[in-house]
Amino acid sequence: MPQHLRNKIQNWVFDLDNTIYPAASGIQHQVDERMPHYIMRQFGLDYDAAREIQKDFYYRYGTTLSGLVQEHKIDPWHYWDYIFDIDYAALKHDLALREVLALLPGRKFIFTNSPHTHAQKVLANLGIAEFFSGVFDLTAAELISKPDPAPYAKMLAQFAIDPKTALFMDDVARNLVPAHKLGMTTVYLERPTHATDDAIHGVDAEISAYVDYQTDDMLGFLQNILA
């Protein structure tokens, strides 16, 4: 049981999409639906071909954008302006999450492969922005995506975080590997949507050594720490 983490952890680092908010909100689904359409518009491809490029870039680079930038010099904000033109109305103030964040000792951060503008909208809609000391986004990472080790070290340095006192939670298991290697406590947040993409998201024999905790209930896990 993770109750002992209350005394150990002083820095709580959360992924954003499908982690700090529930996957059932459909926010990430809206974004995922717009990605292949952006590629279709840019390169004159049909949907299936664009979807294959999207998946390939995500698997190889950590995000579709990182692949587009490195292989096609796409302007990140041109891409983000399109794919994040979505409806955030499904995200409501989360009173239970507010209560937990208020009680967790220490600082809280967002570490995301999305831009800070998206993160700010998510946190504002959830009513939890006040609890976070900082957001480390893909621009701060110089467009190098998780799970590349470079942004992890840069994030820790920027916020003066001792990794031995830090917990990192992400819904993509492979993103936990660099965090664990740096000394952070890692939590894999399993989502129902992962059943269709376990090769990318899930915990295999190699990754399992880097996952300290696994849960399908972020709020319950944090409440258990406070119990």
Check which CATH number belongs to the domain holding 108 and give it. Answer: 3.40.50.1000
Q: 24 to each of 21, 29, 115, 120, how far by Cα in Å? A: 9, 9, 21, 19
117 and 51 both lie in a single domain = no
User: In this model, does residue 190 exceed pLDDT 50?
Assistant: yes
Q: What is the reported pTM?
A: 0.92
* pLDDT for 196: 41
Task: Please state whether beta strands 185-189 and 213-215 pair in parallel, antiparallel, or not at all (unpaired).
Answer: parallel
109 and 79 both lie in a single domain = no
Tens of pLDDT, residue by residue over 136-165, are: 999 999 999 999 999 999 999 999 999 999
Tens of pLDDT, residue by residue over 92-132, are: 999 999 999 999 999 999 999 999 999 999 999 999 999 99
How many whole angstroms from its chain centre is CA 177? 14
- For residues 90 and 142, what is the distance between their CA atoms, to the nearest angstrom? 30
Confidence of residue 198 (pLDDT cuts 50, 70, 90): very low
**What's the number of domains the chain is made of?**
2
16 and 31 both lie in a single domain = no
* pLDDT for 195: 42
Residue with tokens 């700010």: 120
Residue with tokens 């070290």: 153
Nearest Cα to 17, choosing from 105, 131, 146? 146
Domain that holds residue 122: 2-21+90-226
* pLDDT for 138: 95
